[in-house]
Amino acid sequence: MSSQNTDPAAAASTAALKGSEAGGSADRGSVTKRLQQELMTLMMSGDKGISAFPESDNLFKWIGTVDGAVETVYEGLRYKLSLEFPSGYPYKAPRVKFVTPCFHPNVDEQGFICLDILKDKWSAQYDVRSILLSIQSLLGEPNNDSPLNVAAAELWDNQEEGRYRAASQAGTQKKGFSII
């Protein structure tokens, strides 16, 4: 059963129970509590185009989705992400990567993301919601000065070709382009 077909509150309770059984330490318990709060905040936020839930019953591994922002080459595309939270969260950044292939200047072929808030600019004030919103923003506003994907960076000024490549890699059909 997919996480989209489960009751999010029940999923959070089950995941918290499993998380606390597995760790037992005070640190793991505080991370579990933080992640439960973030799940509820995200569910109540009403933000369009982003979502995330624990993967099965593991509160330390989530599956997220980010919709491409309106009026970008990613408009109409939905990307699946994996989020893995370390035991030192929120003082250590989670490991976030695209599961759905994403042709983007700041995403490499393995799905890893070059985003400052996931690296050297990480702060315990960030949460899952802010991470997903930042990734959604990054889709439309890449940092071409430090690309992970040079081919995508070189095509950024050619929006039509970029739109085609983004749709091709995401495995969908987009705005009249047929995908081979």
In the residue annotation, 114 being an active-site residue is answered as yes
Neighbouring residues of 180: CB distance < 8 A, sequence distance ≥ 6: 168
Measured from the Cβ of residue 159, the count of other Cβ atoms closer than 10 Å reads: 12
For 112, the token pair is: 């890893």
Q: Quote the strand ranges of the chain, DSSP E.
A: 50-55, 58-67, 78-84, 95-98
Q: Give counts: helices (H), strands (E), the chain.
A: 5, 4
User: Could you tell me the sign of the dihedral formed by the alpha carbons of 130, 168, 84, 105, in that order?
Assistant: negative
User: Could you tell me the sign of the dihedral formed by the alpha carbons of 40, 42, 46, 51, in that order?
Assistant: negative
Neighbouring residues of 99: CB distance < 8 A, sequence distance ≥ 6: 63, 79, 80, 81, 82, 111
- Choose, from 11, 114, 128, 166, the residue flagged as catalytic: 114
Rg (CA), the chain: 17
Active site residues: 114
